[in-house]
Amino acid sequence: MGKKLRKIVQAGFGILTNAYVKGFLPGAAMIYQGPLKRFCVPGMNCYSCPGALGACPIGALQAVFNERKRRFPFYVLGYLIAVGALVGRFICGWLCLFGMFQELLYKIPVPKLSVPEKIDRPLRKLKYVVLAVLVVGLPLFYRSRYGAGEPFFCKYVCPVGTLEGGVPLVLMNDILRPALGWLFKWKMLLLAGCVVLSMVIYRPFCKYICPLGAFYSLFAKVSAVRLKVDTAACTGCGACSRKCGMQVDPHVMPDSAECIRCGECVSACPTGALQFTVIGRNAAPGKSPAAGKNVGRGMEKKGGNA
Partner 1 sequence: MEKQERKRRVVTGILIAAGICMCILGFLGGEAQIVLTKAANICMECIGLG
Burial 164-189 (b: 16+ CB within 10 A, else e): bbbbbbbebeeeeeeeeeeebeebbe
| Smallest separation, CB 158 to partner 1 (Å) | 7
**Closest Cα to residue 158, out of 95, 235, 210?**
210
Distance between CA atoms of 302 and 154, rounded to whole angstroms? 40
Given the complex with partner 1, which of 196 and 279 has the nearer CB atom?
279
Q: Which stretch binds partner 1 (CB under 8 A): 1-9, 63-71, 110-118, 200-208?
A: 63-71
Distance between CA atoms of 254 and 256, rounded to whole angstroms? 6
The reply on whether position 283 binds partner 1 by CB under 8 A is no
The reply on whether position 293 binds partner 1 by CB under 8 A is no
Given the complex with partner 1, which of 60 and 266 has the nearer CB atom?
60
Q: Give 149's DSSP letter.
A: -
**Closest Cα to residue 228, out of 266, 182, 184, 188?**
266
The reply on whether position 198 binds partner 1 by CB under 8 A is no
The reply on whether position 253 binds partner 1 by CB under 8 A is no
Contact with partner 1 (CB under 8 A) among 33, 116, 119, 285 = 33
Burial of 150 (0-12, 13-18, 19+ CB in 10 A): middle
Contact with partner 1 (CB under 8 A) among 3, 22, 71, 125 = 71
Strand 225-229's sheet: what is its strand order? 225-229, 274-278, 281-282
Build a one-symbol-per-residue string for 120-159: x at contacts with partner 1 by CB under 8 A, - elsewhere.
------------------------------xx--xx--x-
| Smallest separation, CB 177 to partner 1 (Å) | 10
Residue 285: CA count within 13 A, CB half-sphere:
3
Q: Which stretch binds partner 1 (CB under 8 A): 25-33, 111-119, 123-131, 296-304?
A: 25-33
Q: Which stretch binds partner 1 (CB under 8 A): 34-42, 117-125, 128-136, 241-249?
A: 34-42
DSSP element (H, E) containing 303: none
Q: 3-class DSSP state for residue 276?
A: strand
| Smallest separation, CB 116 to partner 1 (Å) | 33
Q: Which stretch binds partner 1 (CB under 8 A): 48-56, 199-207, 240-248, 290-298?
A: 48-56
DSSP element (H, E) containing 225: strand 225-229
Beta strand pairing call for 225-229 and 281-282: unpaired
The reply on whether position 229 binds partner 1 by CB under 8 A is no
Given the complex with partner 1, which of 79 and 202 has the nearer CB atom?
79
By the criterion CB under 8 A, which residues form the site for partner 1?
A: 31-35, 37-40, 46-48, 52, 54-56, 59-60, 63-64, 67, 71, 73-86, 150-151, 154-155, 158, 161-162, 165-166, 169-170, 176, 179-181, 183-184, 186-188, 219, 221-224, 279-280
